[in-house]
Structure 1
């Protein structure tokens, strides 16, 4: 007897069983619901059993469906083993990353250098993504790994993704190297804001306003400018027209710092922690994804803050 079942149908069964919903499974698999429904219906017809009971509450495995899921899992594991035997397949596995600007500005180049030692021919796509859009990028596009700061941690579906802390950072006050404040030793944030308005990335405006706007300060008097374009923000600061607050990791391998265009100020009373996390899907990861995740972990284990 010749059977027409496809590997993707078994993957669909596994995802629907995990989600208990055809709608949610279709979203995670990046297929339309009719396509998913037709694939499962076709498999049920071929096997002659009902795999799921559908209702308004979702999709529940039947007794026969539980056996199908068990056998499907074994088959999919064996398929993964076949792929692992293929060095050619592994070397061409591509990955898409959604990374926050602070990571794209600093660590990502060194992580990629390490990754290339293990996967020299594997394509890698780095999508610099504002932190508030990381979750959308992970769930509604082909991005599979995200690195972002904690101000958007609650937006990530922790039932769908594994999330781990990469490093603990802090916001620092960056000013032009032309600024006379660099020669004044330790400053207070009040003294800084008496001289300059604040230019901040739109993605961090809420968290920074919370750190800066306390009873002794008035951002209204000094000004708060929000930028969606990082280069425009840098130009404003370098021209000595504003200061900015960015994670200290921005200083790592930053051309503006290396060329003495801007530098962090020593501000004694500005305590603004920010942590960075990595998110990746709760499924069997590809060899490329696993390798990149390990390279990222290794980088941050040896990470030493610049400021």
Structure 2
């Protein structure tokens, strides 16, 4: 067993897909498949069961994969600490984020504060376009945003993608719609919506309205908790990034179902960190690396 094999197993278990894991690891699907097959032969048992629905851990492989995940996390922590050991982390880091990432940010901040007492943090919760504006005007250092394909290249800014997804309809599991995989436009128009004030959510609703007619809006808010409450109580459905859904805590995520809308085509959305090219500090890269590390081993990907 080698470190690469360990990494491949962890990533496939995280996303339940050989193709997606290969893309995230920037290698070929064949290389991932061959490495895992070789490891399975070495161990004398099957770690994954492959099907048209995805690649999932076998019953006998689950406990080993859990230990491999813990080992991979430790190896990555050693690498990150070694890379930044000689750098002095201090001063203030101003972060702006979409609502779904607040819990992950708090976790990373807690870890970094214990390791680097001189590093202070300020966090604000905003929509993606407002975050980009804050970065441009030096009101924030790093921002976690969602950008459609057409907006990936921002002049004077650097964007580091973490995940690629799309906007979907989120319905409470108590809803009769929860058993569905998709909704017709007419079914969508028959629902009440609780919407977070995000530019891309607004654009989604406007484009849907242009194609199929208006939806019924119960309320719009910049309070993510209010939207979650409306969903949990079965008062409304909402529009959200699938990334946001994966970022939710276990119990809340388990009570929601994400659905596509039939016949509605949209741009893919890329989620990640953005910063000004002219104001980059060593702490930026370190923070982003730690964030990716925690997300991969303990965040939205572990479903």
**Fold shared by both chains (TM-score > 0.5):** yes
What's the offset of the Cα at 1:248? Answer: 1.8
Distance 1:259 1:202 in 2: 20
On the 8 A contact 2:192/2:217 being kept in 1, the answer is yes
- Would you say 1:254 and 2:248 are equivalent positions? yes
The number of residues matched between the two structures is: 216
Distance 2:191 2:105 in 1: 31
- Would you say 1:213 and 2:213 are equivalent positions? no
Q: What is the aligned counterpart of 2:164 among 168, 180, 187?
A: 168
- Would you say 1:93 and 2:88 are equivalent positions? no
Q: Could you give the per-residue CA deviations for residues 17-49 of structure 1, whole angstroms, max 9, x where no partner exists? A: xxxxxxxxxxxxxxxxxxxxxxxxxxxxxxxxx
- C-alpha RMSD of matched pairs (Å): 3.7
On the 8 A contact 2:169/2:261 being kept in 1, the answer is no
**Structure 2 vs 1, CA of residues 285 and 253 (structure 1 numbering), >3 Å: closer, same or farther?**
closer
- SS of residue matched to 2:163: strand
- Would you say 1:289 and 2:284 are equivalent positions? yes
Unaligned runs of 5+ in 2: 1-83
What's the offset of the Cα at 1:148? Answer: 0.9
On the 8 A contact 1:146/1:280 being kept in 2, the answer is yes
What's the offset of the Cα at 1:244? Answer: 0.3
| 1:193 corresponds to | 188
Q: Could you give the per-residue CA deviations for residues 61-83 of structure 1, whole angstroms, max 9, x where no partner exists? A: xxxxxxxxxxxxxxxxxxxxxxx
**Structure 2 vs 1, CA of residues 181 and 99 (structure 1 numbering), >3 Å: closer, same or farther?**
same
| 1:230 corresponds to | 224
What's the offset of the Cα at 1:97? Answer: 0.8
Unaligned runs of 5+ in 1: 1-83
**Structure 2 vs 1, CA of residues 266 and 135 (structure 1 numbering), >3 Å: closer, same or farther?**
closer
What's the offset of the Cα at 1:157? Answer: 5.2
What's the offset of the Cα at 1:154? Answer: 4.5
Residues 95-114 of structure 1: matches in 2 within 5 Å? 95-104=93-102, 107-112=104-109
Give the structure-1-normalised TM-score.
Answer: 0.56
Q: Could you give the per-residue CA deviations for residues 109-130 of structure 1, whole angstroms, max 9, x where no partner exists? A: 4443554575355222222122
- SS of residue matched to 1:178: coil
What's the offset of the Cα at 1:246? Answer: 0.8
Give the structure-2-normalised TM-score.
Answer: 0.57
What's the offset of the Cα at 1:254? Answer: 2.6
- Would you say 1:131 and 2:125 are equivalent positions? no
- SS of residue matched to 1:108: helix
Distance 1:86 1:301 in 2: 25
What's the offset of the Cα at 1:156? Answer: 8.2
**Structure 2 vs 1, CA of residues 306 and 208 (structure 1 numbering), >3 Å: closer, same or farther?**
farther
